[in-house]
Chain A
Amino acid sequence: MQPLLECKNVSYSYHTMAGETQALTDVSFQVNDGEFAVIVGPSGCGKSTLLSLICGLSLPEAGEVLLHDRPIGQHKDFHIGYMPQKDQLFEWRNVYGNITLGLEIRHQLTKENLEFAKKQMEEYGLWEFRHVKPSQLSGGMRQRAALIRTLVLQPALLLLDEPFSALDYQTRLNVSDDIYRIIKKEHKTAILVTHDLAEAVSMADKVIVLSARPAHVISETPITFDMEERTPMKCRNSAKFNEYFNKIWKELNAYAVEENMQ
């Protein structure tokens, strides 16, 4: 099968007067259509940088990011959705105004699109709150609003940058169930980035582990749970979860030891 997204030997550095910061070196991986890929790596290793490259906000210094075998710059009709780490809802707009912000910017406030936005808001419990300011929403609802703001543009690929890291632990578990359910229901291909290995195993079809900065891929592990209606919460409680967790944990540590010896 042809992959939806392919990163080929991608490298990227930040340049400032103080010096050069190598963020990514030689990162390669693939994501297939419909797959939920989770990228795990320590804080500051270059995960956000990688997502910026994938959605075309910056260009790699070396290597290529390909969508359906073509560089991302060449796709005009192909939208990549990005959900930021904090929800970044605008306090000067109500929930409805926030969710339709993307449509407004792209001059796509058509009847069908607004109808679609309405359906999404109804489906995920935000329609009654459409006139409310974001500050009046709970943490989970804010996250849902941020996700729907991305989904109304009907992205072919969805990028999520540590979407739960601003939430407290309990909300975090509930919201990850929520978001997972929405993404699967809408049949989206998604790449989620996190520094939390347990979160990664509980949600992923494939876990990609990155090294500390400058990041490169240490391992790729396909994850399968044989259960009906998989949810992150159910996964956390299954025996296989610990198996996966320990396996990846060991790989990470083995790598760290190897690094130290060099």
Chain B
Amino acid sequence: MLWKKTCSEPAAASGHRQAASISRHQQAYLDSRMRHRRFVQVMRVFLLAAFLMLWEISTRRGWIDGFIFSSPSRIWKTFAGMVEDGSIFAHVSATILETIASFFFVVVLGLFAAVLLWCSDKLSEILEPYLVVLNSLPKSALAPLLIVWLGANRGTIIVAGMSVAIFGTILNLYTGFREVSQDKMKLIYTLGGTRFHVLTKVVLPSTVPATISIMKVNIGLCLVGVVIGEFIGARCGLGYLIIYGSQVLQWRGEMIKRISSISVGKLDRGWTKIWGSLISVMAGCEKSLSESVIKGII
């Protein structure tokens, strides 16, 4: 199975015989791979279409209650309506903007704090337990408090988005900085550099790949935080739409936002359950994050 995979890579194929001299067996092999790929793609599309069709038929035939479970056609109608009056764009752009803003602050503050910790062993040793505790806080529980403290405005929602990601970011970045090889740092000193040069010429450039992968996780976390913030303290945004939709039992409106915000797998009843599933998704992310941090520390 493994070698089959590698053979299907174009790079590996070009290393072998070229198009002009393809043998019959090689051709048969290539054809079978092609058929395989096409089958997988077709089945993927088919599965989605079949699901939507089954859903639609079930509600039309009355197998399930369309009022509670909605249906693809109703969702589409609501969506089209929201596109027509433009309200969906306002909500989506509000959430996107808030997510980007909180992501931006997480990147800037996270890097700044991690550099500070790296600069001072004393500081990092003093703060490490606090960071670990703060990182393992259930940040979703913090959102209502943030609203109380800071008021129901966009700034608060951005802070809620940051609160989910910031501590894990600092810990992960700092761990990455610490792993930079001593010998590379020594080289900078032998070339006449200072600790500042070690930071700018070795630590930061060598941790670029790690930093990027940390940030990839973060943009998702920020979105989760922003939506939770919008649940409680917003007048627009996808989180607000979810709450609004569920509270007035406008299931059609609510479904589409849920699908477009986070593809939570199951259909739940009532907004408390949505909240619950969101929290569990988030807790899962956090757990894996803090585990990796703890591993890094040990």
Residues of A within 8 A of B (CB): 55, 57, 79-82, 84-86, 88, 90, 92-93, 101-102, 104-106, 149, 153
- Can you show 18 pairs from A to B with CB atoms below 8 A apart? A55-B190, A79-B192, A80-B190, A81-B190, A82-B187, A84-B190, A88-B183, A88-B184, A88-B187, A90-B184, A90-B201, A92-B208, A101-B191, A101-B201, A105-B192, A105-B193, A106-B191, A149-B191
Flag if A90 contacts B205 (CB, 8 Å). Answer: yes
Task: Give the shortest distance, in Å, between B189 (CB) and chain A (any CB).
Answer: 6
Chain A interface secondary structure, helix, strand, loop or mixed? loop
Task: Give the shortest distance, in Å, between A106 (CB) and chain B (any CB).
Answer: 5
Given contacts A55-B190, A57-B189, A153-B191, contact A105 B206 (CB under 8 A): no
Flag if B191 contacts A102 (CB, 8 Å). Answer: yes
Residue of A nearest to B189 (CB): A57
Given contacts A84-B186, A88-B184, contact A105 B205 (CB under 8 A): no
Contact among A90, A92, A102, A149 for B192, CB-based, below 8 A: A102
- Residues of chain A within 8 A of B183, CB atoms compared: 84-86, 88
- Residues of chain A within 8 A of B191, CB atoms compared: 101-102, 105-106, 149, 153
Question: In which size bucket is the chain B interface?
Answer: 10 to 19
Flag if B184 contacts A153 (CB, 8 Å). Answer: no
Residue of B nearest to A107 (CB): B192
Contact count A vs B, C-beta below 8 Å: 44
From 86 to 140 in chain B, residues with beta carbon under 8 angstroms from any chain A beta carbon are: none
Flag if A90 contacts B202 (CB, 8 Å). Answer: yes
Asked whether any CB of chain A lies closer than 8 Å to the CB of B60, the reply is no
Q: How far is the CA of A86 from the CA of B183 in the complex (A)?
A: 9
- Residues of chain A within 8 A of B202, CB atoms compared: 90
Task: Give the shortest distance, in Å, between B199 (CB) and chain A (any CB).
Answer: 12
In the complex, per-residue mask of B165-208: 1 if CB is within 8 Å of any chain A CB, else 0:
00000000000000000011011111111000100011001101
- Residues of chain A within 8 A of B206, CB atoms compared: 90, 92
- Residues of chain A within 8 A of B205, CB atoms compared: 90, 92-93
Residue of A nearest to B206 (CB): A92
Q: How far is the CA of A232 from the CA of B206 in the complex (A)?
A: 37
Residue of A nearest to B190 (CB): A82
Task: Give the shortest distance, in Å, between A17 (CB) and chain B (any CB).
Answer: 14
Task: Give the shortest distance, in Å, between A157 (CB) and chain B (any CB).
Answer: 12
Q: How far is the CA of A234 from the CA of B186 in the complex (A)?
A: 35
Q: How far is the CA of A82 from the CA of B202 in the complex (A)?
A: 17
Q: How far is the CA of A106 from the CA of B196 in the complex (A)?
A: 12
Residue of A nearest to B185 (CB): A88
Q: How far is the CA of A92 from the CA of B208 in the complex (A)?
A: 9
Interface centre among A86, A92, A149 (most CB of B within 10 A): A92
Residue of A nearest to B181 (CB): A88
